[in-house]
Structure 1
Amino acid sequence: MFAPQPPPKSRLGVYRQLSPNAGVHLSPLCFGGGTIGDRWHEKFGVGYMDKESSFKILDTFFEMGGNFIDTANSYQDGRSEEFIGEWAEARRIRDQVFIATKYASNPHLHSDDESIKQKILYAGTSVKSMHISVEASLKKLRTSYIDLFYVHYWDYTTSIQEVMHALHALVMARKVLYLGISDAPAWVVSQANQYARDHALTPFSVYQGQWNVMDRSFERDIIPMARNQGSIVFSIPLSLYLSPFDPTNKHPLRFFPCPAAFDTAIIGMALAPWGVLAGGKIRSDEEEERRRQTGEKGRTFASPNWERTESEKKICDALEVVKKEVGAENITAVAIAYLLHKTPYVFPIVGLRKPEQLQQNIEALEISLTKDHLKFLDGVVPFEAGFPHNLLGDGTEYDPFTMASGEREKWPVAGVLTGRKLPKP
């Protein structure tokens, strides 16, 4: 009756809870849908993926156990959502995958559609932009609901109140199941989630942003914010919400609190980092020389400088050292494992065009790093946290002012899931 499922083909099929306040279980790596589509090849130099090749790599991801897919209304000028939606419909697996998409970016910014003469209302985080985007995404994805809906970036114009009430309405309408926010300051996320708790609205469960071993600014405020959002709180969003009557009619003037007024809630956030391989700059010296000789070069989507700087080369050399110590095959896998070992509830977003790239990324799930490994990688190029972090730390240890008053031990932050190989059948 309760016979276990067949063992998964890879560690990608060993699922993890998304976050403390999101009980859905997902593959530990998220498929980055920015590579899916055929509209950005000539415009931005992104690798070309027609429908056939897109379906093929999505099939491989799913067959290996992957169920977490990330896209956005603007990726590949909308083609990414279209291909992912067609693929899920053709394979009849819509309810077996968890699809995340986003709004705020303008899907028609680079469009050749002459019927769209004014593009202003398609951008930003307003309710108008949100409404247009979610309805279009539902059609392109060929679905009646979106699993995870992100605010793609914070526009500093729309109020937190407007955004959170409108997002909650989508959840109540069951057009959206979970909420996330991307590329926003930590203080905005904290304030938005506090507003949601205070007004019985749906909070953000996931934060998406740039993070990799070469750029650790994510660790300055975002990770401490997400860690704090993961603490247990006693939520009393409507503790003074009173009804002018008692439904029993025994005490017509008696006021009573709403049923959920004194609930205990666990408000936590997952982290979905993008750019985990630093735009392809995590490579060996031999690979870089090969690219130089063949003229293949590297990714120039964000910058024309595809070659690594001296500090980036030092980090790659350090990854090579760790790779040998743990017996890994690829430094890219070590770079992803590094993120998975830094803090809990991390779901790296990986861009894929070839099956071998997926295999290299899956290796990260089998790597177990020690604290010494993390300390070694962190020390190659020192990270300047800046004030007040360089004075107080990040909260995982007591600050020097507190320790001066006497020895004490601090409860550790929730642990991470270390990598391990699947047992052979």
Structure 2
Amino acid sequence: MDYRQVGGSGLRVPALSFGAGTFGGKGRLFSAWGQSDAAEARRLIDICLDAGVTLFDTADVYSNGASEEVLGAAIKGRRDAVMISTKTGLPMGDGPQDWGASRARLIRAVDASLHRLGTDHIDLLQLHAFDAHTPVEEVMGTLDMLIAAGKLRYAGVSNYPGWQVMKAQAAADRHGWPRLVAHQVYYSLIGRAYEWDLMPLAADQGIGALVWSPLGWGRLTGRIGRDRPIPPGSRLHETEQFAPPVAEDHLYRVIDALEAVANETGRSVPQIAINWLLGRPTVSSVIIGARNEAQLRDNLGAIGWTLTPEQTALLDAASAVVPPYPHTPYRQQDGFALLNPPMV
């Protein structure tokens, strides 16, 4: 397993990490993702650890806390062998302190996550979404307090706009608080908007990307193609309404390129899609999910090899889209190249 620094921090994580959104199986969305109990989760974690995957990502909102509970039960007795990443900020109830990133909410949420996980610290806490109602100084000051108390090791965000990430970093620098080190983002061959603003920001500010849904919400599993509609039993039948949108023509163009590379390499479509991400700038870890052992072992096959420059170029071209204003003018001028990491 390749281990990478998370941005400019001292935190080192495996290139592949495991997403525990399939643990617990409560509610319409998460029951469609997966329903692993503690025994099955323990088996999947065994396979991960054998492969060097030591970072496990979850969130309080996943199955209304059940994902954290199952993960905690599955790692009991081997906490020192794993790293835990969890998230908070999305609604966990209807009360005024059940959502957001206020001081009261963060303290309650972290304590609740620690209890469900059965641990005394979280290796990486990420704010799950931007809270427009709470001042940035309150958010960053609370994270500083929780780190100083030993409840957190590092802090990051997820699904944040770039300008709010910069406000958070500026507040941290102004007060001498710990900076954000990670941004958990949607990024895939059919969703490359991360590259327009957030990737250059991450490169400039030393923020590592933890990539969620690298297979485009299950669309790049190899089971869907031009003549292959969504098969029976696919979670997309239940969850597509929650997925980042993608035009059908664009999806099939990317799948055609993936299948061409799969035929050349003998690798699976998911392995190629994940391997492409591992070569992108600022990516610290790609979060893989699996409902069963077969899916997990296939995803683990995404490491230990590299795409050729020609194969990468084919995937780049098939997945490229014209960025919206104001990004396009900059990308058309060589003089602005330093503002952007290498990309299509």
TM-score (norm. length: structure 1): 0.74
State which of 327, 333, 344 in structure 2 corresponds to 1:399. Answer: 333
Match of 2:135, as an amino acid? S
- The reply to whether residue 301 of structure 1 matches residue 239 of structure 2 is yes
Q: How far 1:42 moved relative to its partner? A: 7.8
State which of 22, 26, 32 in structure 2 corresponds to 1:35. Answer: 22
Moved over 4 A (4+): 41-44, 285-293, 304-308, 410-415
User: For the residues of structure 1 that align with 2:33 and 2:261, how far apart are their CA atoms?
Assistant: 30
Q: How does 1:54-65 map to 2 (within 5 A)?
A: 54-65=41-52
- Partner of 1:166: helix, strand, or coil? helix
Q: How far 1:33 moved relative to its partner? A: 1.1
- Partner of 1:271: helix, strand, or coil? strand
Q: How far 1:65 moved relative to its partner? A: 1.7
Task: Specify the alignment match of 1:351 in structure 2.
Answer: 289
Task: Specify the alignment match of 1:311 in structure 2.
Answer: 250
Choose 97-106 or 343-352, whichever is displaced more: 343-352
TM-score (norm. length: structure 2): 0.90
Unaligned runs of 5+ in 1: 1-10, 109-117, 230-267, 404-409, 416-425
Task: Specify the alignment match of 1:46 in structure 2.
Answer: 33
User: For the residues of structure 2 that align with 1:82 and 1:97, how far apart are their CA atoms?
Assistant: 15
Q: How does 1:127-138 map to 2 (within 5 A)?
A: 127-138=103-114
Structure whose alpha-carbon radius of gyration is higher: 1
State which of 74, 96, 100 in structure 2 corresponds to 1:120. Answer: 96
Choose 162-171 or 80-89, whichever is displaced more: 80-89
Q: How far 1:277 moved relative to its partner? A: 0.4
- Partner of 1:120: helix, strand, or coil? coil
Q: How does 1:226-375 map to 2 (within 5 A)?
A: 226-229=202-205, 268-284=206-222, 295-299=232-236, 300-303=238-241, 309-325=248-264, 327-375=265-313
Change (3 A) 1:72 1:411: closer
Q: How far 1:288 moved relative to its partner? A: 8.4
Decide which structure has greater helix share.
Answer: 2
State which of 58, 83, 87 in structure 2 corresponds to 1:102. Answer: 87
Q: Percent identity over the alignment?
A: 28
In the alignment, is the contact (CA less than 8 A) between 2:158 and 2:185 conserved in 1? yes
User: For the residues of structure 1 that align with 2:204 and 2:51, how far apart are their CA atoms?
Assistant: 34
In the alignment, is the contact (CA less than 8 A) between 2:140 and 2:168 conserved in 1? yes
The alignment yields a C-alpha RMSD, in angstroms, of 2.8
Which fold has the larger relative contact order, with Cα–Cα distance below 8 Å and residues 6 or more apart in sequence?
2
- Partner of 1:347: helix, strand, or coil? strand
In the alignment, is the contact (CA less than 8 A) between 2:13 and 2:284 conserved in 1? no
Q: Deviations over 1:41-80 (max 9, x none)?
A: 6875332222222222122212222110101111111011
In the alignment, is the contact (CA less than 8 A) between 1:44 and 1:301 conserved in 2? no
Q: How far 1:131 moved relative to its partner? A: 1.1
Change (3 A) 1:104 1:307: closer
- Count of paired positions: 341
- Partner of 2:11: helix, strand, or coil? strand
